[in-house]
Chains A and B, each alone.
Chain A
Amino acid sequence: MRCKNFEDLLPGYIEDVLITEERARVSAHLDRCPACAGLLDRLKRTGAALSEISDVEPGPALMANLRDIPSTSAPRRRFPVLAVKPALQPVLAGAFLVLTFTAVLVFTPAGGRLIKTLNRQVHAGYDTISRVYAKAESVADSLDGAREKFIVSLEILPPLGRNQE
Chain B
Amino acid sequence: MELKEIIEGCLEGRPGAWNMLVQSYAKRVFNTAYQFTGSRVEAEDQTQEIFLKVFHSLPKFDMEKNFDAWLLTLAKNHLIDAYRRTRWEKKNRDDFEGAVARKAAASSNPEDVLAVRQDHELLWKGLNILPSDMRMAVILKEIQGKAYEDVAKIMKLPVGTVKSRVNRAKLQLARLLGELGEQGHAV
Contact = CB atoms under 8 A, between A and B. Distances in A.
Interface on chain A toward B: helix, strand, loop, or mixed SS? helix
7 contacts: A42-B178, A46-B170, A52-B104, A56-B34, A56-B99, A62-B26, A70-B13
B124 A53 contact: yes
A53 B120 contact: yes
B30 interface: yes
Nearest to A11: B167
Interface of A: 7-8, 10-12, 38-39, 42-43, 45-59, 61-63, 65-67, 69-70, 73, 75-76
Interface on chain B toward A: helix, strand, loop, or mixed SS? helix
A77 B101 CA distance: 45
Nearest to A12: B167
B47 A52 contact: no
B62 to A, nearest CB: 13
Given A57-B27, A73-B55, 8 more contacts: A42-B175, A42-B181, A43-B170, A49-B120, A50-B123, A53-B102, A69-B51, A70-B55
B143 A50 contact: yes
Contacts of B170: 11, 43, 46-47, 50
Contacts of B34: 56
A58 B30 contact: yes
B142 A66 contact: no
Contacts of B51: 66, 69
A53 B30 contact: no
B108 interface: no
Contact of B116 (A43, A49, A51, A62): A49
